[in-house]
Amino acid sequence: MAEALLEIRELSLDFAGLRAMDGVSMTVKDDELVALIGPNGAGKTSLLNCINGFYVPTGGTIVYGGRAIEGMPPHKLAALRISRAFQHVELVPQASVLENVMVGRHTHTRAGWLSSMLFWGAALKEQVRHREVAEEILELLELEPYRSRTAGELSYGIQKLVGVARALAMEPRLLLLDEPSSGMSRQEKEDLARFMLRIRHEKLVSIIWVEHDTQMVKDLADRVVVLDYGRKIFDGPPDQALQDPGVVQAYLGRPILSQ
């Protein structure tokens, strides 16, 4: 059996005596789309924060590509090809869409400061390559019509998509998506669903995806991990989540996925 790309073992996280996560374990395989769901305050974003180094877990281990990474700073994890699109838009509003996506190329910059300042030699070649990658991602996510537009003037849904594009520009092996569909219209969500499938199959990227739109989860996810009060209460196929008593109880007795 192939080794998992990401393996989280008994992860715990405390804040001033408050336990945000309590013994959470999960795995993500290569080219797998795992949805992370649960009620508000369940610990979903805290888990992502531990994976990409924003939080240092109190206990447990995070193994990525066979290497323990818990406690590593975000910039080193980015260099290991873990990238993230945030729940709240974190773009440079005065910059163009293309310029915002180019920001995601910073981990691939190798030219020295002198050639970068003079924009010649290795720096020029790098810039051409970075732009090619950015343009390819804009095409993948159908953002070409907005490439020269200022990010701050776009609709919230398009801004969220630009955030996903910037994360893709890092050429991740593991992509963390924190509620990418929040604030989107139904049509924008349908477009996002298409793009996520493209990312997975064309870029061969593993994805952990925090989501509240459970119909999207049912349609797209290979597997669902459910958190409640910092504990994992379910890990399995989306259709089985509907029948799990613990999941139903966590969602106040209502089925969370439509038949």
Q: To the nearest whole percent, how much of the chain has pLDDT over 70? A: 90
**Predicted pLDDT of residue 17:** 79
Please report, for the chain, the start and end positions of each structural domain, with discontinuous segments joined by +.
1-81+173-185+204-259, 89-171
CATH dotted code for 89-171: 3.40.50.300
Q: Which of 116-125, 131-140, 195-204, 207-216 has the lowest mean pLDDT?
A: 116-125
Q: What are phi and psi of 251, to 5 degrees?
A: -100, 35
Give me the sheet containing 33-37, strands edge to edge. Answer: 82-85, 174-178, 206-210, 33-37, 223-228, 231-236
Domains 1-81+173-185+204-259 and 89-171 share a fold: yes
pLDDT for residue 257: 53
pLDDT over 90, % of the chain:
66
Specify the fold of 1-81+173-185+204-259. Rossmann fold (3.40.50)
Long-range contacts of 42-47 (CB under 8 A, 24+ apart): 42/226, 42/227, 42/228, 42/229, 42/230, 42/250, 43/13, 43/227, 43/229, 43/230, 44/178, 44/210, 44/227, 45/87, 45/178, 45/210, 46/13, 46/20, 46/21, 46/230, 47/8, 47/11, 47/21, 47/227
Give pTM, 2 decimals: 0.88
pLDDT tens digit string along 58-87?
999 999 999 999 999 999 999 999 999 998
- Say whether pLDDT at 1 is over 60: no
Least reliable range by pLDDT among 25-29, 116-120, 229-233? 116-120
- Contact by Cβ (8 Å): 165, 83: no
Question: Quick one: three-class SS letters along 27-47?
Answer: EECCCCEEEEECCCCCCHHHH
Q: Would the pLDDT of 2 be above 80?
A: no
Q: How confident is the model at residue 259 (pLDDT cuts 50, 70, 90)?
A: very low
